[in-house]
Amino acid sequence: AQRVTQPEKLLSVFKGAPVELKCNYSYSGSPELFWYVQYSRQRLQLLLRHISRESIKGFTADLNKGETSFHLKKPFAQEEDSAMYYCALSGRAGTASKLTFGTGTRLQVTL
């Protein structure tokens, strides 16, 4: 069975402070990991995926297979980063990928 754990429901940081949103997973295979973000009154959207090894809006995430983690990091938080963040793992549904989501972490960036 595949599972994604986000231990923090709420993370509150000051503007300019570093951010780390934790994500751990369990999956018997080679996983694909994603971070999705939902800004207030907007739809869920992809932030980044581990296979791209990219930085989006200053966020990065490294897949650590030894620790089965995919933590999301940003060195300096901005007010506009305040949102709900979901870590997700991709497993197969027929020939397509279905996503298993964590319960989400609300990031609150304050002045």
Q: Which residues bind other proteins (CB under 8 A)?
A: 4, 6, 9, 32, 43-46, 49, 51, 86, 88, 90, 92-104
- What single-letter DSSP state applies at residue 76? S
What are the C-alpha distances in Å from 91 to residues 5, 27, 54, 70?
Answer: 16, 9, 21, 16
Contact 12, 59 (CB under 8 A): no
Coil, strand or helix at 24: strand
Contact 77, 109 (CB under 8 A): yes
Residue closer to other proteins, measured from CB, 52 or 78: 52
Q: Give the shortest CB-13-to-other proteins separation in angstroms.
A: 21
Q: Give the shortest CB-36-to-other proteins separation in angstroms.
A: 8
Residue closer to other proteins, measured from CB, 66 or 94: 94
Q: Give the shortest CB-69-to-other proteins separation in angstroms.
A: 17
Residue closer to other proteins, measured from CB, 62 or 79: 62
